[in-house]
Each structure stands twice: as C-alpha cells, then as structure tokens.
Amino acid sequence: MTLPLYVQGAWFTGALLFIFGLKGMSSPASARKGIVWAGYGMLIAIAGTFLVPGLKNIALMALALVIGGAAAWISGKRVKMTDMPQMVAIYNGMGGGAAAAIAAIEFAKADTHSAVVTTLAVLGALIGSVSFTGSCVAYAKLQGLLKKTYRLPAQNVVNVLLALTAIGLGGAMIVMAPAQPELILVFFAIALILGLIVTLPIGGADMPVVISLFNAFTGLAVGFEGYVLGNPALIIAGIVVGAAGTLLTQLMAKAMNRPISNILFTPMTGGGGAGEAIEGTMKELSAIDAAAMMRYASKVIIVPGYGMAVAHAQHKVWEMTSILEEAGVEVKFAIHPVAGRMPGHMNVLLAEAGVPYDKIFDLEEINGEFGQADVALIIGANDVVNPSARTDKSSPIYGMPILNADMAQNVIVIKRGKGTGYSGVENALFYTDNCRMLYGDAQPMAGHIIQHLKAMG
C-alpha cells in the first residue's frame, strides 16, 4: 500500500529530528536540546502513524501511549541521578522487547512475506529478545535485586549452543514461512533465555559496556522491524541508534583494553583476580589534613567514581571545588570512559551538581596534567586509577588505559573501606608513598573537608 505523502513526510521529518537529536547529545552543552529535538521527532512520527489510512486498534494504541507516557513521566520525575543507569538499562530493554513483540505479531499473522522481510523479522526478533532479557538482568544488578553473578558450568559452551539453536530455529522459520506457532514459541523462548544466560555472569566492572552493547542491539532490532513494517522513521532511527551504540561500545571496550567477546565470554565478576603481591601499607589521613593539602595547593585534579554516586556527594564536591577556586586553587575533573555504571555516568552527576562543562576532561585530555598536579583527589574510584594496569602482566586489568593519578605529587583517596574494585584486583596506588586514605562515605567526608576549608579562610 502506498502511503499518503503527509504520512511519509511526518515519518521523514521525525527521522531527521532523531538524527539532529542524536547529534546534539554528542556534547554536554547541547545534550538537552538534542533530547528535546528527538522528543519532537517522536511526537511527529507518532502523529503520522495515527494518520495512516485504514489503521485499526486506534483506541488500544492511544491507551498504550497514555499508560506508557504516564509511567515514563512519573518515573522520570522520581528517579534519582544515581539510579539513572538502571533506568537507562530498563528503558533500553523495553525498546528491544517492543521490537521483538512487533516481530511476534507479524509471525502470528502467518502472512506470506519475501525472504528478505522474513529474515529481517527473525533477526529483529532474536536481537530484540536478547536485548530485552539482558537489559532486565542489567537493571536487576544495578538496582541491587541481583547481588551476585551466576555462572553455569561450561558457561561459554552453553552460550554458543543456545545461540546456534536460536539461529537454527530462525533459519527454519525463514525456510518454512509462514512458520508453525510451536516453532515460533520455541524460537522466542530460546532467544529470551539466551539474553538471560549471557548477562547473568557479567559483573559491575563490565556493566557500562554491556548497557551500551544492548543499546546497539535495540537500535538494530528496531531498524530491522521498521523495514518489516515499511516505516522509514523506525528504519532510520534504529540504524542511527544501532550505529551510535556500536561505536560507543567499541570505544568503551578499547578504554578497558578488552575485546567485546572477552567481556561477554570472560567477564570480570569481581571474584578476586590474580595479580602480583603488593608491598607496603595503606596510610590514613584526617579530613583537616586533606583540606590543608588542597587549600595550599596550586592545582588539584578530582577523579570521581561510583563511590561518589552512591554517596550522593556530587553537590558537596562542587561546593568544595568552589571554595578551593575562591582561594586561588586551579581545580579540574578527570573522567575515565568507564567510570560509574553507564557511559557518561560521572558527567551526568557533575552536570546535575552544576559543574561547568569546561572543567570536566576525559582521559586523553587530562592524563598529561597529573604530573603537574599538587593533589589528585580520588572519590570512590578504584580500577580506573590502578597502576597495576601498566605494570602487572598477571593482573586481569593489565593494559587497560588508566588515569595517571599516581603521578601527582600527592594523592588523596576517599573510600568507604579497604575493599577492592569490581574487578576484584587490589589497587597498588593505595600503597604508594604519595597516597593517603580518607575512609568514609564521600558525602560526609567532603562535608568535613568543606568545614575545615572554611575555617582556614
């Protein structure tokens, strides 16, 4: 059926706004505008869909939009900034699940399609199903509902067998199209189980990459199903999101110096990785000493990590930064690509606290400056500043690019306890002569430092 020009125009306009929106999201300065543009694009695309001649179930579609929109509005208003990673994960999963559901409905119709359309429907269903259940597991882990990693005996063999089974069933559905309902049900069951089994063993250290990977999966699934439905807005949006998610996943995997296959099939589960024995002891200092070191420094570089997010300390950290700057101290923030629980997690938290964009630097931009810093203040970060990644070939994180915090004249680490990071590797930085530990949650510790800074005038 040839669609009216106004419907095609609405979808095309929506697709263009999706592209402009994604472009805007590439920079913190324009990210808000990008989200608004993409939102308008979605509204226009939905409006165009309702104008399709002969459209059925309009009341059900409207009801779904009201329920989904209300749920998104309420959850978006209530979610804490520290809980944003799990919201991203579950919303991403819903996109993959929606793509799989579209394919399921098309299969249930038992209509005759071309081999190309059927193949894309099967691919979208497979990828969307894996993204759905995998994202649900990621959400449960980030939310604390799943506090352990679960690894089956011969885990990789099980992964491969499930994947081959799902691909084989999908191939059978293409050859036998329209497929029997029993075959369709078994195919979806295996695909959904595959998403669960692949994601359950993956620990927090790899979770940012996993979320990005499932985002790419969801985009591809949506693009494939857009072709099945003949909807150019879905095709363009899905391909753009899939491509962006794939590039981001590759960049983050590179930042960890780990191939994506290694993340999926040999995950860091936090079970205590191997590594050389570390000599020395951790040396503690007080909040007043930390305040004095930074107050009389010329340059301070702050390295935030997930510990800052857990403690909701970003506002206190920015208040502390403002006091130091008023005293003539140069302060910068250093962000590792995989700091936190999702891509850009630390950037979002700092922006929410009001930290200007020009004070936030990524690894490549800031690493050369640590050698000129009087103090490197590490707040709840661990693996991303571990010098063992440079020197210890037996370490699971060997070769991972790190922030060169150990090269600062003095290092202060605010940390809740003496435990290891998500990789399970002891941090050699904490035992160096220039490092001092300030134990406690980041928010009260930052508050104590602020009090002493104010007293110093």
Write the DSSP assignment of 423-452 as a string of letters.
T----GGGGSTTEEEEES-HHHHHHHHHHH
* Complete domains list, the chain, with CATH: 79-265 (no CATH), 287-456 (3.40.50.1220)
d(CA 391, CA 211): 29
pLDDT for the residue numbered 1: 58
Q: Are 376 and 349 in contact (CB under 8 A)?
A: no
pLDDT band for position 22 (50/70/90)?
confident
Question: Is residue 439 left, alpha or beta, with left meaning phi > 0 and alpha meaning psi from -120 to 50?
Answer: beta
The answer on pLDDT for 258 being more than 60 is yes
Mean pLDDT of 301-318: 92
Residue 435, strand partner residues: 411
Return the pLDDT at 222: 92
pLDDT of 250 strictly over 60: yes
Look up 383 and say whether it is catalytic.
Answer: yes
What pLDDT, on a 0 to 100 scale, did the predictor assign at position 366?
Answer: 95
Residue 428 burial by Cβ neighbours in a 10 Å radius (0-12, 13-18, 19+): buried
d(CA 94, CA 88) in angstroms, rounded, equals: 10
Provide the whole-model pTM: 0.78
Listed residue (316, 320, 299) closest to 307, CA to CA: 316
Q: What is the pLDDT of residue 255?
A: 74
- What span, in angstroms and rounded, lies between the C-alpha atoms of 303 and 111? 57
Tell me the backbone φ, ψ of residue 328, rounded to 5 degrees. Answer: 90, 10
- Predicted confidence at residue 116, as pLDDT, reads 87
Highest mean pLDDT among 123-137, 171-185, 230-244, 250-264 belongs to 123-137
Sorting pLDDT into bands at 50, 70 and 90, what band is 24?
confident
Q: In sequence order, what are the beta bridge partners of 411?
A: 376, 435
pLDDT digits (tens, 9 = 90+) for 200-241: 988 766 777 888 889 999 999 999 998 888 888 888 889 888
Q: 277: burial class by Cβ within 10 Å (0-12, 13-18, 19+)? A: exposed
pLDDT value, residue 169:
95
- Which pLDDT band, with edges at 50, 70 and 90, does 443 fall under? very high
Across the chain, mean pLDDT equals: 87
Specify whether the CB–CB gap between 401 and 445 falls below 8 A: no
206, 383, 392, 441: the active-site residue: 383
**How large a percentage of the chain has pLDDT more than 90?**
48
Tell how strand 330-335 and strand 360-362 pair up. Answer: parallel
* Predicted local confidence at residue 276, as pLDDT: 60
Q: How many helical (H) and strand (E) elements, i.e. helices and strands, does the chain have?
A: 17, 6
pLDDT of residue 271: 47
